[in-house]
């Protein structure tokens, strides 16, 4: 087994521990596996990297071993942390890079490490945002009420966090909490966006414009999601609305993800074709 194969085998094995620790919360497993897949995509590039020096290997070994003991460092700060989760795995990958490759190869480790750490920390970030930006909820509710009234659904805001729908069977009160705003889906989309754009060769201005468009689109998708849930509540009752609430967010999130990155990839292909055409024209003119 050569050095590169040994690296990938070593990177894969801890995923079994991640799966065991997060057996009831599969998203962390999915993102950790996705991080490993990003490493696989980089295989050709890593094959050209030189090996690490002796001191760096020792440092990397210490980091990799320490990743298995992060649980004891996290206990004072988090309630019931997983013994071996995404953060452990990200630190472990960092250690592996230090063991197997020259220091400059750490750039290749950014996207998988960022993906794993950011995704597993999304819930903590959402809690922090809720603590500081809960004032935003009434504004989001006002926007929803305005849209519902335009669609012919009589809706009003009662109390700070309750929307009342005037249905044919009487008033229907629906509580509104932080999770309804859709911050979690926007965080996950932003994480995927950062990982994808980091690997692209587009200019910083282009990346920024597409990032703004992607996040704004995710905001619109969240508005559509809540409106659909309220329409289901209004026309078919709370029970049907609860069923729609369960799956509509996943459907719209995946749909927007596919549409956005399909359009983005098409734009990149077109941009590359234009660049090649300009390059050929310059060579012809230069003759």
Tens digit of each residue's pLDDT, the chain (287 residues): 688 889 999 988 888 777 776 655 666 677 777 778 888 888 888 888 888 888 999 999 999 999 888 878 877 766 666 677 777 888 899 999 999 999 888 888 888 888 777 776 777 778 888 888 888 899 999 999 999 999 999 999 988 889 999 888 888 888 888 888 888 888 888 888 888 787 777 778 888 888 899 999 999 999 999 999 999 999 988 888 888 988 898 899 889 988 988 888 887 777 767 777 777 777 766 65
- Burial (CB < 10 A; 0-12, 13-18, 19+), residue 59, is middle
What angle (nearest 5°) sits at the alpha carbon of residue 118, between those of residues 245 and 212? 70
CA–CA gap between residue 212 and residue 223 (Å, rounded): 17
From the list 82, 97, 70, the residue with the least C-alpha distance to 10 is 97
Residue 50's SS3 state is: coil
CA 225 to each of CA 123, 140, 148, 245: distance values in angstroms, whole numbers, following the listed order: 20, 13, 12, 8
pTM of this prediction? Answer: 0.73
User: Quick one: angle between helices 26-41 and 86-100, nearest 10?
Assistant: 20
Residue 165's SS3 state is: strand
- Burial (CB < 10 A; 0-12, 13-18, 19+), residue 238, is middle
CA 170 to each of CA 19, 152, 162, 231: distance values in angstroms, whole numbers, following the listed order: 47, 16, 16, 15
Give the Cβ contact number of residue 124 at 10 Å.
10
């Amino acid at each position: 087994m050569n050095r590169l194969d040994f690296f990938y085998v070593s990177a894969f094995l801890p995923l079994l521990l991640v799966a065991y620790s997060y057996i009831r919360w599969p998203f962390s497993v999915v993102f950790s596996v996705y991080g490993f897949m990003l490493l696989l995509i980089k295989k050709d590039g890593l094959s050209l990297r030189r090996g690490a020096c002796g001191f760096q290997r020792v440092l990397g070994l210490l980091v990799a071993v320490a990743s298995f003991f992060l649980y004891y460092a996290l206990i004072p700060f988090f309630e019931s942390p997983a013994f071996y989760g995404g953060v452990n795995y990200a630190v472990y990958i960092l250690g592996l890079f230090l063991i197997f490759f020259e220091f400059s190869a750490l750039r290749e480790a950014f996207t998988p490490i960022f993906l794993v750490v950011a995704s597993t920390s999304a819930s903590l970030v959402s809690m922090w945002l809720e603590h500081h930006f809960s004032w935003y909820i009434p504004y989001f509710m006002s926007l929803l009420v305005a849209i519902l009234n335009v669609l012919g659904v009589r809706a009003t805001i009662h109390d700070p966090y309750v929307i009342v729908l005037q249905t044919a069977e009487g008033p229907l009160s629906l509580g509104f909490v932080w999770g309804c705003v859709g911050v979690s889906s926007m965080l996950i989309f932003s994480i995927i966006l950062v990982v994808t754009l980091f690997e692209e060769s587009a200019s910083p201005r282009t990346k920024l414009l597409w990032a703004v468009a992607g996040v704004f689109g995710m905001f619109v998708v969240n508005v559509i999601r809540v409106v659909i849930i309220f329409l289901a509540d209004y026309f078919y009752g709370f029970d049907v609305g609860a069923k729609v609430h369960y799956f509509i967010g996943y459907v719209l999130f995946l749909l927007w993800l596919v549409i956005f990155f399909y359009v983005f990839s098409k734009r990149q292909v077109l941009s590359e074709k234009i660049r090649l055409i300009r390059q050929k024209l310059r060579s012809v003119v230069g003759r």
